[in-house]
Copies of this chain bind each other. A is one copy, B any other.
Amino acid sequence: MNKYLSELAKNIVPYTPGEQPKDKQYIKLNTNENPYPPSKRVLDKISDSCFEDLKLYPDPNSNSLRSALSKYHNVKESNIFVGNGSDEVLAFAFAAFYKDKQICFPSISYSFYPVYCQLYNIKAMKIEMKNLKIDVESFLNKKKGIIIANPNAPTGELLSLKTIEIILKSNTEDVVIIDEAYIDFGGESAISLINKYENLLVVQTFSKSRSLAGMRIGVAYGNELLIDGLNRIKNSFNSYPVDRISQVIAVESIKDDDYFLKVCNNIINTRVTTTKILREKGFDIEESYANFIFAKHSKISGETLYKKLKEKGILVRFFNKAFIDNYVRITIGTKEEMDKLINAIDNIIKD
Task: Return chain B residues, CB-CB under 8 Å to A16.
Answer: 235
Task: Return chain B residues, CB-CB under 8 Å to A237.
Answer: 87-88, 91, 119
Is the Cβ of A175 less than 8 Å from the Cβ of B4? Answer: yes
A322 within 8 A of B: no
Q: A33-B56, A55-B211, A84-B241 are in contact. Are A199 and B4 (CB under 8 A)?
A: yes
Chain A interface mostly: loop
Task: Return chain B residues, CB-CB under 8 Å to A100.
Answer: 6-8
A259 within 8 A of B: no
* A53 nearest CB neighbor, chain B only: B214
Contact of A239 among B6, B17, B214 (CB under 8 A): B17
Task: Return chain B residues, CB-CB under 8 Å to A4.
Answer: 97, 174-175, 199, 225-226, 229
* A59 nearest CB neighbor, chain B only: B20
Is the Cβ of B9 less than 8 Å from the Cβ of A99? Answer: yes
Is the Cβ of B236 less than 8 Å from the Cβ of A17? Answer: no
Is the Cβ of B9 less than 8 Å from the Cβ of A232? Answer: yes
Contact indicator per residue, chain A 47-65, by CB within 8 Å of chain B (1) or not (0): 0100111111111100000
Is the Cβ of A99 less than 8 Å from the Cβ of B6? Answer: yes
CB distance from A57 to the nearest CB of B (A): 5
Cα of A33 to Cα of B244 in the assembled complex, Å: 14
Interface stretch of the complex, out of A38-46, A152-160, A313-321: A38-46
Give 21 pairs: A residue, B residue, CB < 8 Å, sorted on A: A6-B99, A8-B120, A9-B97, A12-B233, A14-B231, A16-B235, A17-B60, A33-B55, A37-B54, A38-B51, A54-B211, A54-B215, A55-B211, A84-B241, A85-B238, A85-B240, A88-B237, A116-B236, A213-B240, A216-B242, A216-B243
- Seen from chain A, the residues whose Cβ lies within 8 Å of a Cβ on chain B are 2-9, 12-17, 20, 28, 31, 33-38, 42-43, 46, 48, 51-60, 84-85, 87-88, 91, 95-101, 115-116, 118-120, 173-175, 199, 207, 211-216, 225-226, 228-229, 231-246, 249
